[in-house]
Structure 1
Amino acid sequence: MKRRHNHATLAALVLLSCLAAAPRSASMPAPPERSVHTHHAIAINGQTIPYTATAGTILLRGERHEPTASVFYVAYTKEGAAAERRPVTFCYNGGPGSSTIWLHMGSIGPKRVITPDAQAAPAAPFGLRDNPYSLLDKTDLVFVDAVGTGFSRLVGKGSGKAFWGVDEDVEAFGQFIERYVTRNSRWNSPKFLFGESYGTTRSANLVNYLQNRGMAFNGVVLVSTVLNFATLISQSGNDLPYIAFLPTQAAAAWYHNRLAQRPSDLASFVAEVRRFAGGDYADALIKGDSVSPSQQNAIVASLHRYTGLSESYIRESKLRIPPDRFEKELLRGSEQTVGRLDARFLGYDLDVMGDSPDYDPSDVAVSAAFVGAFNDYIRNALHYRSDEHYYPTHYDVVNRGWNWNRGERSRPTATNVADDLQEAMTKNPHLRVFSANGYYDFATPFYGTEYTLSHLSLPPALQSHITYGYYESGHMIYLHTPSLAKLKSDLSRFYDLASP
């Protein structure tokens, strides 16, 4: 899950890449590693799967072998399975600055928080049920909290500067995975990475990092992808985001019945808008101020037809509607806004005349349910006792101090890890990638993902190793139960194909 960014601020963060990392922390005692094991069973597709849940910590160490961080994880492993035939998948959310509570408790873990579809969840008691869409029938699962989130903490002389950055973060996750694999005798197991949002940025970088250290992977699952941040940042001179977001804007307008002539089928409608976005619309934007009046009029009419926004608003916006303004403008007059993470959710703004929403209704709608259910589950079902605060997100600390620079590869451009994925797939021609995309996701638009993954310059044989899934949901695809069911089906096929 990701927080809303002011787009100018995000542009400064990513494009300039000049934030100083957080100050070095004071020396803190390094607690001993710990783990708690409990035994359970779950029925998935008519199969009863006995499994062990392990909630614990692993210490990360610096160059002098001194402890620098304690990383919290929850692992679910099928009992009695042969390690060399049983895949293991490492899962994480993004932010940067988010814990993995969302994937853990909402998507493929053995338990799932029950929330109403596209509505705010009520207060406690929260519903927590066995998850029939868990991937535990296909793979063991390890949910990992990034340093500074969840129960993961800096320890000893560890400092945020050593962990909170594009490459620093990958080195930390790489060390954790290597230690987990070694301690649990999983070197000969099929291996997968499963990331959401900025977690996909991490995965593209991480799979290349670990493969260059001798650990090959079978597959990478990208849920709500951002590898090239230039597809997101609405800034003067960069027209790519307007093209990337247009099909998502059209999908949101379709969902909320804002189209004068609403097609019956969403997928075919989105395909039509894709062709327009990458064709006539892109051509007009590239021409900039030299676009002819007749071409501009044609584009205005098409944008009105696809988005439901007024022709006058589109014209005054110079054919370019940033996502945050669209979220506010789509339902202008109703005093309602649509969600950023999921445009199906509706919010109410006090400033009805503003340009962008006051908050993201799809973010706040489910947060309390996930946090409350997790804190009860981890202590009372998994028996992991801790008085420490579990940080579902810690943006004010982790994100604020994030280092977007990439060492010698740093350039004054948007962060882009697509080259890392390209290198990983080229060096390991067996590696497969699955990209899961929500139609109503204004955080990571699916057309931007398609653009990035189709520009890896891979030979056709390797490009065919990238497959896609599309869902009538948002950034957190799994909040929509029918989409989660479809996601599980798609992932099952992917794992069968990628595993020996």
Structure 2
Amino acid sequence: MIRKSLLLAAIASLAFSTAQAADSKPAPDKSDKKTDAAATAAPDKGVLFTPEQADSEGSVTVGGRTIAYHAVAGTIIVHPKGWDDAAWREQSPGDLGDKKDAKAEASMFYTAYFAKGAPSADRPITFLYNGGPGSSTVWLHMGAFGPKRVVTADDSHTPAAPYSLVNNEHSLLDVSDLVFIDAPGTGFSRIAGKDKEKAFFGIDADAYAFDQFIKGFLSKYGRWNSPKYLFGESYGTPRSAVLINDLTTNDSVDFNGVILLSQILDFSLFAGLQGANPGNVEGYVTQLPTMAATAWYHNKIPGGRPADMQSFLKEVEHFATTDYASALAQGNEIDPALKQQIAQKLAGYTGLPMAYILKADLRLDGPNFSKQLQADEGLTTGRLDTRFSGADIDPLSKDADYDPQSAALGSAYVSAFNSYVRKDLHFGQDEVFKPEIDVFEPWDWSHATPGNPALKMAGTSVLPDLAQAMKYNPQLKVMSAGGYYDLATPYYQGWYEMHHLPIPANLQANIEYHYYESGHMVYAHADSARKLHDDVASFIRRTDNIGG
């Protein structure tokens, strides 16, 4: 999940419009084999890591049907870009054990679930991951689609342990085998070797690691000819955009579909960054509908909330992209009377005082809104899920000091998984599980967009990557999903991004949209979890190219 620390990191990284291209590395010096130990590792074999695997059996009931499965909790070794997968053959056995000067490598942890009694060769397989960057995939695993899910309170703090782990009636095992992947350094995944952060912490480096993992997994389990899907949440969505382009255009591996949950493909729209780029007004526009939905939920709409939220949001979306966007675009040239009219409209939609809106110069940003909406009650409104509220930590602060939803759910997920992975999956008895790690200082946000290989932009957008993959593979289908109460990656931002993809008009038909009365972790709301499963399952069934 994207956490508050991403605000600071992204502000710092986007303060520069361009970044220097990465230094090119010289070819390995074969005359000094001891200094290039990592090059001696075979594919899926490491100098610093050894692949691990633990097998187990289980069953899950979905839609009244019991599905027996074989589970594998294990690791696959991947190497950074530029690694020569043939060099290891030239080395001696003694070189293979030399770790002193080993180059970077990663041991990526995964949990795979394979349905028994199903023809695996042509059964769909879905690769799932959360985001951050710096997050493990405990959230999707234990809350959304794994065979077990942890029970949490709907919109309030879940009581402390013991937590309930139950059959997940919303698991996607009814339509696809599943592979939950922890990003390098997170969960049980580890990185080691020279310049390990540079090798794996960055937009391109991260996507390349996942690219290598997926190809290694397809080979290990004989799934090259299976219908294939990517499912990314939060930062997992820009990872998916870069990854699907790499797989499609560089590796000639077409996927059937990409599911984007709580997406952010254009970081210039990111809630919380708008003050760092005053000339960009689109972020204010795309956040407004979520603020209105939140005010509606907490009954903060002046005069009482409208009966139908959907119709209300359509009205707000229209205002946001027309009158509001036009007013913001005028900057300091806006007519004072018009400014008053816009402020009055914003107050009616958001529940914030008109005086505060005018003081903010009509520019309402996520962290400010979270702080202000329920300030009169001494409450901070959630960011990842604005249905959640918590006590103000500092009543005098400008922005929200923490996220009540993260505080409310984190312990349940982490505790339940630590118990489940060791007891049921038989993995990690002597290892530390890292639900999240801080990668923002070393993270490389630069990214060369397709068609501009010489221009390293500061990670502002991966829309061109997804667009190129869709043009290269015109059969690729995309599902965009989000929660109305997500102020970290607002649902309307996802809609806005997808309607600005540089693709032919006919390819827009390859994209479908689904929104839910929940937040960033859509599945944290029981009814939304059911609907999300049904929508994703339908998407897979309609696109898996399996006859019958």
TM-score range, shorter chain: over 0.9
Gaps of 5+ in 2: 23-36, 39-45, 89-103
The residue aligned with 1:226 is 264
CA offsets 1:435-457 (integer angstroms, 9 cap, x no match): 11100101101111111100113
AA in 2 matched with 1:11: I
Q: Residue 290 of structure 2 contacts residue 485 of structure 2 at CA under 8 Å; is this kept in 1?
A: yes
The residue aligned with 1:419 is 464
275-284 or 413-422: bigger deviation: 413-422
Matches within 5 A, 1:316-327: 316-327=359-370
The residue aligned with 1:477 is 522
The residue aligned with 2:56 is 38
Matches within 5 A, 1:103-118: 103-118=140-155
Bigger relative CO (Cα 8 Å, ≥ 6 apart):
1
Matches within 5 A, 1:246-285: 246-260=288-302, 261-285=304-328
When the two structures are superposed, what TM-score results if normalisation uses the length of structure 2? 0.87
1:191 aligns with 2:228: yes
The residue aligned with 1:382 is 425
Q: Residue 219 of structure 1 contacts residue 433 of structure 1 at CA under 8 Å; is this kept in 2?
A: yes
1:60 aligns with 2:81: no
CA offsets 1:24-45 (integer angstroms, 9 cap, x no match): xx99962321111111111111
Q: Would the alpha carbon gap of residues 128 and 350 (structure 1) be closer, same or farther in structure 2, given more than 3 Å must change?
A: same
Q: Would the alpha carbon gap of residues 314 and 305 (structure 1) be closer, same or farther in structure 2, given more than 3 Å must change?
A: same
4+ runs deviating over 3 angstroms:
5-9, 17-21, 26-29, 64-67, 155-158, 407-414
AA in 1 matched with 2:10: L
Q: Would the alpha carbon gap of residues 284 and 186 (structure 1) be closer, same or farther in structure 2, given more than 3 Å must change?
A: same
CA offsets 1:53-75 (integer angstroms, 9 cap, x no match): 10001111351447711110000
Give the whole-Å Cα distance in 2 for the aligned partners of 1:414 and 1:403: 8
Q: Residue 29 of structure 1 contacts residue 155 of structure 1 at CA under 8 Å; is this kept in 2?
A: no
Give the whole-Å Cα distance in 2 for the aligned partners of 1:38 and 1:59: 21
The residue aligned with 1:204 is 241
Give the superposition deviation at 1:80.
Answer: 2.5
57-66 or 41-50: bigger deviation: 57-66
Q: Secondary structure at the match of 1:146?
A: coil
The residue aligned with 2:31 is none
Q: Would the alpha carbon gap of residues 40 and 337 (structure 1) be closer, same or farther in structure 2, given more than 3 Å must change?
A: same
Higher CA-based Rg: 2
Give the whole-Å Cα distance in 1 for the aligned partners of 2:7 and 2:220: 43
Give the superposition deviation at 1:155.
Answer: 3.3
Among 452, 463, 471, the residue aligned to 2:508: 463
Give the superposition deviation at 1:244.
Answer: 0.9
Q: Would the alpha carbon gap of residues 413 and 68 (structure 1) be closer, same or farther in structure 2, given more than 3 Å must change?
A: closer
1:214 aligns with 2:232: no
The residue aligned with 2:217 is 180
Give aligned-pair identity as a percent.
46
Give the whole-Å Cα distance in 2 for the aligned partners of 1:131 and 1:458: 38
Among 393, 404, 419, the residue aligned to 2:445: 404
Gaps of 5+ in 1: none
Give the whole-Å Cα distance in 1 for the aligned partners of 2:109 and 2:144: 19
Q: Residue 464 of structure 2 contacts residue 502 of structure 2 at CA under 8 Å; is this kept in 1?
A: no
Give the whole-Å Cα distance in 2 for the aligned partners of 1:386 and 1:153: 16
Q: Residue 19 of structure 1 contacts residue 402 of structure 1 at CA under 8 Å; is this kept in 2?
A: no
Q: Would the alpha carbon gap of residues 317 and 120 (structure 1) be closer, same or farther in structure 2, given more than 3 Å must change?
A: same
Among 138, 149, 156, the residue aligned to 1:119: 156
Give the superposition deviation at 1:318.
Answer: 0.6
Give the whole-Å Cα distance in 1 for the aligned partners of 2:6 and 2:227: 41
Q: Secondary structure at the match of 1:464?
A: helix
Give the whole-Å Cα distance in 2 for the aligned partners of 1:190 and 1:159: 33
Give the whole-Å Cα distance in 2 for the aligned partners of 1:351 and 1:159: 38
Q: Residue 386 of structure 2 contacts residue 519 of structure 2 at CA under 8 Å; is this kept in 1?
A: yes
Count of residues in correspondence between the two structures: 494
